Amino acid sequence: MSAHPLDKYLVTKRLPHIWCPGCGIGVALAAILRAIDRRVREGALKPENLVMVTGIGCTARAAIYVSFDSAHTIHGRAIPFASGAKLANPKLEVMVLGGDGDIAGIGGNHLLHAARRNMDLTVFMITNMVYAMTGGQVAPTTPTGMYTTTTPKGNPETPVNVIKLVAYQGANYVARASTTHPALIERYTYRALGMEGFRFIEIISPCPEIFGRHIGFRDPVELYEEIKKKSKYKPKPSLEESDLDWERGWVLGEFIERNEPGYLKRIGRV
């Protein structure tokens, strides 16, 4: 019997995973795994050197499903855990996957400092615009005016622009993709895995169950279409075009690409 092409990277006995029908997290994980597989098949990466570190949240559950080494740590602390793993064993290819709450909310401080150090990590932030696992509360990335379970009159806050934040700290690579464009996730991951220093990929992802339903989208396909419509690909966009706005939409693309020495090089570990 044949098997799904990604089965070798998955703990298949744990499938079906816990993510809701139509949730973007699985689409993002699949695209990331395809990029990893390309690097492995080219001989650039060894499966035994792969590490995926996550914190807490729906997204963070990914650590449970990958067949290579992984750690499901505590909320917001995936980046320091991952930095420790990389510093202890520079051979490892260390990736962090987290929700926007996990990475930019409770973990925002760690994100800032890992980017400033140009720490040799690839961080994926799944932006579903809410704290999904805990019931759809407002997140630091929730666009202004959005209805969430804790902003019944619309979000009065200005969201943090994580693309700019990470770019201004000196990260080597900063890109935004969307699960409505899986080929972009794959391409950006593939590129990031060939670089050193801090690499940050934001992935816009529909949460049909908690986010979508709350704002009136009745099924996953409807929310998918809405997010696809709002996601506009642009080659070489500027940081000025990186805002997330529900009405105007957002730009997908590679905002920053630098080749500055990563942290390990700076401390003489490579």
Partner 1 sequence: MGSRLGVVQALIEDPETDPPERRPRFRIVVIPERCKECGLCIHVCPKNVLEKGTEANARGYRYPVPARPEDCVGCRLCEFNCPDFAIYVVPVR
Ligand X SMILES: Cc1ncc(C[n+]2csc(CCOP(=O)(O)OP(=O)(O)O)c2C)c(N)n1
Nearer to partner 1, 111 or 223 (CB): 223
Segment 206 to 245, residues that bind partner 1, using CB under 8 A? 208, 219-221, 224
Distance, CA of 164 to chain centre? 15
d(C-alpha 13, C-alpha 236), whole Å: 41
CB-based burial of residue 137 (10 Å sphere; 0-12 exposed, 13-18 middle, 19+ buried)?
A: middle
Assess 262 for contact with partner 1 (CB under 8 A).
no
By the 8 A CB rule, do 255 and 176 touch? yes
Q: Which amino acid is located at 30 in the chain?
A: A
Which token pair is 159? 């969201």
Assess 13 for contact with partner 1 (CB under 8 A).
no
Q: Which residue has the tokens 């993510």?
A: 19
Q: Name the nearest CA neighbour of 119 among 260, 264, 270.
A: 264
The interface region with partner 1, picked from 6-14, 39-47, 122-130, 143-151 by CB under 8 A, is 6-14
Q: Which does 183 bind (CB under 5 to 8 A by kind): ligand SF4, partner 1, ligand X, none?
A: partner 1
By the 8 A CB rule, do 79 and 60 touch? no
CB of 4 to partner 1, least distance (A): 5
The binder of ligand X chosen from 22, 26, 80, 101 (CB under 6 A): 101
- List residues near ligand SF4 by CB under 6 A: 19-20, 23, 25, 58, 128, 132-133, 207-210
d(C-alpha 232, C-alpha 90), whole Å: 37
Size of the site for ligand X (CB under 6 A): 16
Segment 80 to 119, residues that bind partner 1, using CB under 8 A? none
The interface region with ligand X, picked from 5-13, 97-105, 226-234, 244-252 by CB under 6 A, is 97-105
The binder of partner 1 chosen from 8, 11, 13, 26 (CB under 8 A): 26
Which token pair is 136? 């759809």
In order, the DSSP letters of 31-60 are HHHHHHHHHHHTTSS-GGGEEEEE-SSTGG
CB of 130 to partner 1, least distance (A): 18
d(C-alpha 235, C-alpha 213), whole Å: 32
The binder of partner 1 chosen from 11, 20, 112, 264 (CB under 8 A): 20
Interface ranges with partner 1 (CB under 8 A): 1-2, 4-7, 10, 15-17, 19-27, 30-31, 182-183, 208, 219-221, 224
Interface ranges with ligand X (CB under 6 A): 56-59, 75, 99-102, 126, 128, 131-134, 139
